[in-house]
Amino acid sequence: MRVLAAAVFAFAMVARMAGAQEVQVTFSLPPEHSALGVSWAATPMNLPADADVLQAMVMEPETRPGPWTVTLEPGPYIVSAFSEADLFELEVTITAETQQAYEVPALSFSAVIPYRCADQDLCAFQDPATGLAFSLPRGWAAEEPYRFDEGDGTVATSVSAVFFQDTDGDGADVWFLNPPEWEVDENGPCRDVPLGALCTFDLTAGAEAAFAVLSPSLQISAAP
C-alpha cells in the first residue's frame, strides 16, 4: 500500500509540474481597434536554429473581433494580430508570475520622410550626401536622394530621387528622378530635365503643377 501511495503521490506531483509549465494568457487590441476582426499568432523566440517555426507557432487563424485567450508555455514570444490592412505586435516573456492580460499595440510602418513641404507655398532643399538641390510645392515631399548601384560595385553618376504628393492612401501624384529600369511603355511617361529624366505613372493636373516647380529647380549645387 505504501508503494502504491508513493506512486500515486509521485504521479500527482508530475501532473502538477506539467500543468505549471503552461500559463493561460489573454491578449487584446487597443480599445479603438476592439471591433476589428483579426487572426492571432504567438511565435516562440527561443527556438533552436533548425526548428520549424510554423510548427512551433500557436495560432488562431479564424478572423474575429475580441480578445484572444491562449495557453502558452513560459518563455519569450512575439504575439501578432493581423487583418488585411492592419498589424499589431507585442514582444512579451510569459512566466507563471507575470500578468495574465496584455494589450497588443498597432505597428507603425510610417517611414522617416527627410524632405517635406507642409507650411509654405514653396520649399527649397539641398541633400548634403548627393548635392541635389530641389524645390517642392506645398503638400509634397521627397525621399532621400541616392545613386543606385549598377552592379559590380559601379555606382551611377546621376542622382535618383522620388518626389511625391504627401497624402495618405492610393492615387497620390509622384515624380521619379532617373528611376532605374523604368520602361516608358509599361510604367509611364518621362520628360528630359537637365539632370536626366523625370518620370511619372500618370500626367494628372497635380503632377503637371509639381513638375512646373520641380523641373527648373533641379541642380547639383555641391560635390557629393
Based on the fold, state whether residues 95 and 186 are members of the same structural domain: no
52 alpha-carbon distance from chain centroid = 24
Q: What is d(CA 12, CA 90) in angstroms, rounded to the nearest whole number?
A: 35
The stretch 79-98 carries a mean pLDDT of 88
3-state helix, strand, coil in the chain (%, to 5): 20, 40, 40
CATH of the domain at 31: 2.60.40
Q: Please state the length of the chain.
A: 224
Q: 135-141 long-range CB contacts below 8 Å, 24 or more apart? A: 135/213, 135/214, 135/217, 136/163, 136/210, 136/213, 136/214, 137/209, 137/210, 137/213, 139/165, 139/166, 139/167, 140/116, 140/164, 140/165, 140/166, 140/210, 141/113, 141/115, 141/116, 141/117, 141/165, 141/166
Would 33 be classed as within a structural domain? yes
Based on the fold, state whether residues 77 and 160 are members of the same structural domain: no
Based on the fold, state whether residues 95 and 171 are members of the same structural domain: no
CB 134 within 8 A of CB 119: no
With the CA atoms of 149, 153, 159 and 164 taken in that order, what torsion angle do they form, in degrees rounded to the nearest 10? 20
CB 148 within 8 A of CB 161: no
Q: Which amino acid is at 196?
A: G
The stretch 155-163 carries a mean pLDDT of 93
Based on the fold, state whether residues 89 and 121 are members of the same structural domain: no
Domain endpoint, select from 103, 123, 146? 103
Strand order in the sheet with 101-103: 68-72, 23-28, 101-103
Based on the fold, state whether residues 99 and 130 are members of the same structural domain: no
Between 169 and 168, name the one with better pLDDT. 168
Question: With bands split at pLDDT 50, 70 and 90, how would you rate the model's confidence at 224?
Answer: very low
Q: What is d(CA 132, CA 125) in angstroms, rounded to the nearest whole number?
A: 8
Based on the fold, state whether residues 98 and 130 are members of the same structural domain: no
Domain endpoint, select from 39, 74, 103? 103
The CA distances from residue 159 to 88, 127, 211, 218, 222, in Å, are: 37, 11, 17, 11, 12
Domain endpoint, select from 103, 127, 161? 103
Provide the pLDDT for residue 11.
38
Would 3 be classed as within a structural domain? no
pLDDT of 163 higher than 80: yes
Q: Assign residue 138 a region: left if phi > 0, alpha if psi is -120 to 50, beta otherwise?
A: beta
pLDDT of 140 higher than 70: yes
Domain range holding 178?
115-220
What single DSSP character describes residue 146?
Answer: B
pLDDT tens for residues 2-51? 433 333 334 333 333 444 478 999 999 999 998 999 999 999 988 887 88
Based on the fold, state whether residues 133 and 214 are members of the same structural domain: yes
Which of 200, 189, 190, 194 minimizes the C-alpha distance to 217? 194
Based on the fold, state whether residues 148 and 189 are members of the same structural domain: yes
Domain count along the chain: 2
